[in-house]
Structure 1
Amino acid sequence: MQVEIWSDVVCPWCAIGKRRFEKALAQFAHRDDVQVRYRSFELDPDAPQERTEDLGEHLAAKYGITTERAEQMHAQMTQTAAADGWDFHFEHAKSGNTFDAHRLLHLAAERGVQDAVKERLFSAYLVEGERIGDPETLVRIGAEAGLDADEARSVLAGLRYGDEVRADEHQARAYGISGVPFYVIDQKYGVSGAQPPEALLEVLTTAWADAHPVSVLTPAGADGDACADGSCAV
Structure 2
Amino acid sequence: MTVVIEMVSDLVCPWCWLGKRRIEGAIALTPDVDVQLIFRPYELDPSVPAGGVDYKEYMREKFGSDEGKERASAMRQALIDYGQEEGIPYQFDKITRRPNSFDAHRLVRWAQGQEQGSAAKEALFKAFFHDGRDIGDHEVLVDIAGQIALDQKIVADLLATDADVENVRNEANLFRQMGVTGVPTYIANRQFAAQGAETSEKLAKFIRHAATHEPEERPAG
Provide the TM-score with structure 1 as the length reference.
0.84
Of 145, 148, 153, the residue aligned with 1:145 is: 148
Shift, 1:77, TM fit:
2.1
Q: Which structure: larger Rg?
A: 1
1:73-110 residue CA offsets vs partner (Å, 9 max, x unmatched) = 42332222222111111111132101100111111111
Mapped pair 1:208 → 2:211:
yes
CA distance in structure 1 between the aligned counterparts of 2:176 and 2:38, rounded to whole angstroms: 18
Contact 1:50 1:95 in 2 (8 A): no
Structure 1 unmatched ranges of 5 or more:
213-234
Distance in 2 between residues matched to 1:105 and 1:68, nearest whole Å: 32
Question: Between Structure 1 and Structure 2, how many residues are aligned?
Answer: 210
- Whether 1:109 aligns to 2:112 is yes
Q: Distance in 1 between matches of 2:213 and 2:75?
A: 40
* Larger strand percent: 2
Q: What are the Cα deviations for residues 51-72 of structure 1, in whole angstroms up to 9, with x where unaligned?
A: 45343x4223113334853445
Matched residue of 1:4: which SS? strand
Distance 2:32 2:173 in 1: 30
1:92 equivalent to 2:104? Answer no
The residue that corresponds to 2:121 in the other structure is 118
CA contact (8 A) 2:99 2:135 kept: yes
2:52 and 2:136 in contact (8 A); partners too? no
User: C-alpha displacement at 1:44, in angstroms?
Assistant: 1.1
Give 4+ residue runs of structure 1 displaced > 4 Å after superposition.
Answer: none
1:42-81 mapped onto 2 (5 Å cutoff): 42-55=43-56, 57-66=57-66, 69=70, 70-81=72-83
Which one of the candidate residues 171, 176, 180 is aligned to 2:179?
A: 176
| In structure 2, distance between residues paired with 1:127 and 1:22 | 20
Amino acid at match of 1:47: V
Tell me whether 1:39 sits opposite 2:22 in the alignment.
Answer: no
Partner secondary structure for residue 86 of structure 2: coil
- CA 1:52/1:45 → structure 2, altered by over 3 Å: closer, same or farther? closer
SS at match of 1:210: coil
Maintained 8 Å contact 2:58/2:98: no
Residues 9 and 185 in structure 2, CA contact (< 8 A), matched pair in contact too: yes
Which residue number in structure 2 is paired with residue 6 of structure 1? 8
Q: Structure 2 counterpart of 1:174, which letter?
A: Q
Change (3 A) 1:116 1:29: same
Report the CA distance between 1:143 and its aligned residue.
1.3
Distance, in Å, in 2 between the alignment partners of 1:211 and 1:84 is 32
- The alpha-carbon deviation at position 50 of structure 1 amounts to 4.1
In structure 2, distance between residues paired with 1:139 and 1:13: 25
CA RMSD of aligned residues (A): 1.8
CA–CA distance in structure 1, aligned partners of residues 38 and 203 of structure 2: 16
- TM score, norm. by length of structure 2: 0.88
CA–CA separation in structure 1 for the residues paired with 2:80 and 2:65: 19
- Seen in structure 2, the aligned counterparts of structure 1 residues 72 and 207 have a Cα distance that, compared at 3 Å, is closer
Q: Secondary structure at the match of 2:5?
A: strand
Do 1:181 and 1:192's aligned partners in 2 also have CA atoms closer than 8 Å? yes
